[in-house]
Every structure is written in structure tokens, then in C-alpha cells.
Amino acid sequence: MINNTKKIGYRAFLILAIMLLTLMLVTDCNKQNRHGGKPFTPNPVILDKQEVKILATGDEAPAFALPDINGKLISLQDFADVKVLVVAFICNHCPTAQAYEDRLIKFTEDYKPRDVAVVAINPTSPHALLPEECGYSDMDDSFDNMKIRAKAKGYNFPYLYDGDDQAVSIQYGPQATPHFFVFDDQRKLRYSGRMDGIERPGTANGEDLRLAVDQVLDGEEVTKSRTKSFGCSIKWSWKSDWTEKINQQWQERPVNLEKIDFAGVDTLMDNNSEKLRLLNIWASWCTPCVIELPELVMLQRNYGGRDFEFITLSTDKPDKFDETLKVLKEKHLPVQNFIISVDDTYQLIEAIDPEWSGALPYTLLIEPGGKVVYKSQGIVDLLELKRAIVEHPMMGRYF
């Protein structure tokens, strides 16, 4: 009887242990993502316009639970044990936010041993961001691109996505990216505003933020608890009407095609303009060529407001002018489009680049004066091309 009782007790203990372990796994799974174990999938919505007020000094930190770049939910409670919490609102596209990335990484490294945690939140709604606003970056503010940027820069702090309903950002009230909020161990707001007063990297070291955090750590009043934040305005979803208007204007731009001879091709390659020139050689019968045209023309929207231009050159036979123009219109390329007027493909290859084998598509990035700084045969690696453009000395990621 005693042995049976022990066996029953052991089984009951084992069942209870299994149940507790299962509960812990389910809880952890639910904590790591918001879709019952499935990978996080962004679902941005458009909100009605509302007033956004910045947190006042002394306010409590609003609670949050947002996905990081791996889809894991990160909450305010996860930082409960640190003395100071810095909440930074940043994004991928903004030149000012990019100008402060290295300083924020260094700040995080310096202050982690002092029990200070940093968490960054991307407040941008994808519905409110135009391609033209990404002229200083190789990517927009989408969740997928957050992953790329964080890994490329080696972020040493969580980077969270709030682009679906912007509920957390609305509660904190950031005015621009970047915008920093410093909370003490009671999670009361002690400082909000800029990191420092000089945007260009290498000229400052986050003095305003460091001073505020130092004073909080030392139990002192923050000398200046609020400063202004300078940078790109927050892309609230209710501004989508404006983005739709600009997108429609782009769609209404005319698409044209001009004939060009070999002398004209030489002029294209010489690039006597003052712009960085992206030249794409393609043909209407080349399926990969046609497929990538919409992505390439988007680069004109990204960087066309700066010293950049995108030009296409079709290798279609001169008598295929109408068919070529039809494809350009279907794909909507309202840029400079040329078609070779002479039926001599091999002379064209030599005129473009003697090292080119002749395979299509062929894409070149040409500096003023004719120096080719990037070329790709076949479908381009779009991220690689964007980086070649934005990191060129004529362009750059910040002012």
C-alpha cells in the first residue's frame, strides 16, 4: 500500500511538473510574439487624425509591448530592474537619425555597466512615408528593413516596431526622429529631447543626454529637463492622404521615348552633367529587364531630389519603337528613356563598355566626368546598388 501511495504521489508530481513546464513554454511563446507562435507579420492601419502631446516631465512611462526585429515582444516590464531607461524614437530613413546612430551605440555601450538600458522604437507608419523621403538612406522604415539596418550597424539595443497602430508613439509624443526620453528607477520622465546640439557625426558626443542620465544616476535634479528635438517629423498614419496625392501625381507624369545615336550614347557615358547618373541598358523582349524596371525607377523617386538621375537605354531594334514605348508606359517610367537608332548591337556594346559581355540587363552608375563606380550584369542587387548611391561622396546619409 505504501509503495502504491508513493507511486501515485510520484505520478501526480510528474504530471504537475509537465503541466507547469507546458504553461511556461506557452507563456514564453506568447511573450515572444503576438500571434500565438506564428512569426510576426506587420499590419499597418490608417488612424483618424488626433492630437499628439509630448510627455510632461514627471509623467510615468507609458506601458508598451512591441515586436523587436526578430518578432519577439519586448515590454516596459522587461526593463524593471534597471536604474535608468532611455527610450529613443528613431527610424531608418531620416538623415538626422542616421547621424546619431553611432553616438547612440556608443552611449549604450558606455552606460550599460552603470545599469542604464536603451530601447529604440520606430514610430513610422508605412502608409505615411513617401519614396522621396528616403533620399538619404538605402531603405525605408518597414519592419523588414529595420532588421537589415539594425544588423548592418550592429545595434546593441532592442529596436522595436510601432508602425501598425502607432499606439505607443502616440502616448510618448515624440516630435521628430531622433527623440530621447529618460526615465528614472520609478519610471518617471526626467528628460526629453535631443541627444546633443550638433547633428554632424564626429562633432559631439551626446552631451545633453549624457548629462541628464548622469544627474538622474547621481540622484540630482536634471538641469535642463526638456530640449527640442530636431529631425524628420513623425510619419503619422493619418497623413496618408498626402502620400496618396503625391503618388498619384507621380502616376500622372508622362512617359516618353527618344531615339539616340552612338554619339548620343558617348554623351551619356561621358556624363557631363553635375549628377550621379544611373544608366540601365535593357530590351523589351528581356523578361528580367522588364521585371526590374519598376524597382529601378523607384530610385528616381528616392534620390531624384538630390544630385542623381536615372536613365534607360533600350537595345530594341529601331523598328520596335512603339513596342518599347508601350512597355515603358505599362511599367510607368517617367524618366529619360532612349532607344538606339542604329541597328548595330555590337557597336553599342563597345560604346557602352568594352568589358561588357553583352548580356542584359546591364546597369552602370556613372560619376560626372564619366567614371563608372558601379556596374552590374543581370538583375541588380537592389540593396547593394542603393548603398553605392547613398554612400557615394556626392550623396551621403546626412547633411
| Region for 193 from its dihedrals, namely left if φ exceeds 0, alpha if ψ lies in -120 to 50, beta otherwise | left
Contact partners, residue 225, CB within 8 Å, separation at least 6: 57, 190, 191, 192, 212
Q: Phi then psi for 279, rounded to 5 degrees? A: -115, 125
Q: What is the model's pLDDT at position 5?
A: 47
pLDDT, greater one: 214 or 25: 214
Class for the domain spanning 65-242: alpha beta
**CA–CA separation, 191 and 188 (whole Å):** 9
- Under the banding of pLDDT at 50, 70 and 90, the label for residue 23 is very low
pLDDT of residue 38: 76
As a whole number of angstroms, the distance between CA 354 and CA 350 comes to 5
CB within 8 A of 383, min separation 6: which ones?
138, 139, 148
**Rama region for 325: left / alpha / beta (φ>0; ψ in -120 to 50; rest):** alpha
Phi-psi region of 158 (alpha: psi -120 to 50; beta: other; left: phi over 0): beta
DSSP alpha helix (H) spans, 44-100 = 95-99
Same fold, 65-242 and 253-390: yes
Residues in the chain: 399
The per-residue pLDDT for range 364-391, each reduced to its tens digit, is 999 999 999 999 999 999 999 999 999 9
Helix (H) or strand (E) holding 208: helix 207-217
Domain residue ranges of the chain, discontinuous segments joined by +: 65-242, 253-390
Domain 253-390 has CATH 3.40.30.10: yes
pLDDT score for 206: 98
Average pLDDT, the chain: 93
Question: For residue 13, what pLDDT is reported?
Answer: 52
